[in-house]
Amino acid sequence: MKTKSNLLLLLALPMLMSCGGDGNGAASVPAGVDTAAVVYDNIMTRRSVRKYKPQPVERAKMDSIVACGINAPNGQNRQAYEVRIVDDADFIDGLTKVYVESNPKAAAEPGFKNMFRNAPTVAFIAADTSYDMSVIDCGLLGGNMVLSAWSMGVGSCCLGSPTRFMLETPAAKPYLDKLGFSDGYKLLYVIGFGYPDETPAAKPRRTDMVRYVD
């Protein structure tokens, strides 16, 4: 993963994309940095990661990643989401135990550590069900989070499957309850974060579904 260009972005992007721990900081661009190239490279090299080193992402770094998330565009600036970050192994492993009881084959996958594609830090994102655009807010939030994380050397994987499990499985409810989302907010998806222990290849993208209309 640490190609020459990635090294550049690893050095420069935390400065370029640092959104400030309070969520309101302005980015400062170092002199001589080709911002467009760095940002483009960060977007194009990001991959979903499913094998991680064991340590959780430092909370200060997660704060920066969340700050980038909440600085994404969002409908009417309602910021119609709630985010819960979990790096507690007891939570992750306890819920995974419930998951494996229902899906014993999952644990047989090589390198299986947990139901969040093995991530040691997990962000749970809930949408405000009273606002019809909230799922877009949540998606843009997560987009900024995974890209800013990548710029800091942190891998991630958006996850729908554990979300469905948590919403549909009575035995998972105590864990959902512990997240403490407010009334009117519903878990929409999960993003696993951690330091990558693999370098996945890019998956091909289609372009035939996009065209200009003259």
Ligand X SMILES: Cc1cc2nc3c(=O)[nH]c(=O)nc-3n(C[C@H](O)[C@H](O)[C@H](O)COP(=O)(O)O)c2cc1C
Q: Which residues of the chain form contacts with ligand X (CB under 6 A)?
A: 47-48, 50, 117, 157-161, 189, 200, 203
Closest approach, Cβ 120 to ligand X, in A, equals: 16
Complex with ligand X: residue 5 or 25, whichever CB lies closer? 5
For residue 201, the minimal CB distance to ligand X (Å) is 9
- Give least dist CB 66 to ligand X, A: 18
Cα(55)–Cα(105) distance, integer angstroms:
25
- Taking the least distance from each CB to ligand X, the nearer of 62 and 158 is 158
- Hey, what are 27's tokens? 């980015």
Residue 122's contacts (CB-CB under 8 Å, 6 or more residues apart) are: 85, 86, 87, 92, 116, 190, 191, 192, 193
Q: How many CB atoms lie within 10 A of CB 118?
A: 22
The minimum distance between CB 22 and ligand X, in angstroms, equals 28
Closer residue to ligand X in complex, CB, 62/145: 145
Query: C-beta of 50: minimal distance to ligand X in Å?
Result: 6
Angle formed at CA 163 by CA 168 and CA 142, multiple of 5 degrees: 155
- Residue 41's identity, in one-letter code, is D
| Comparison of 11 and 197: residue with beta carbon closer to ligand X | 197
CB nearer ligand X, residue 57 or residue 159: 159
Query: What is the rounded distance in angstroms from the CA atom of residue 200 to the CA atom of residue 184?
Result: 37
Helices marked H in the chain: 4-16, 35-45, 59-70, 89-102, 134-151, 161-168, 173-179
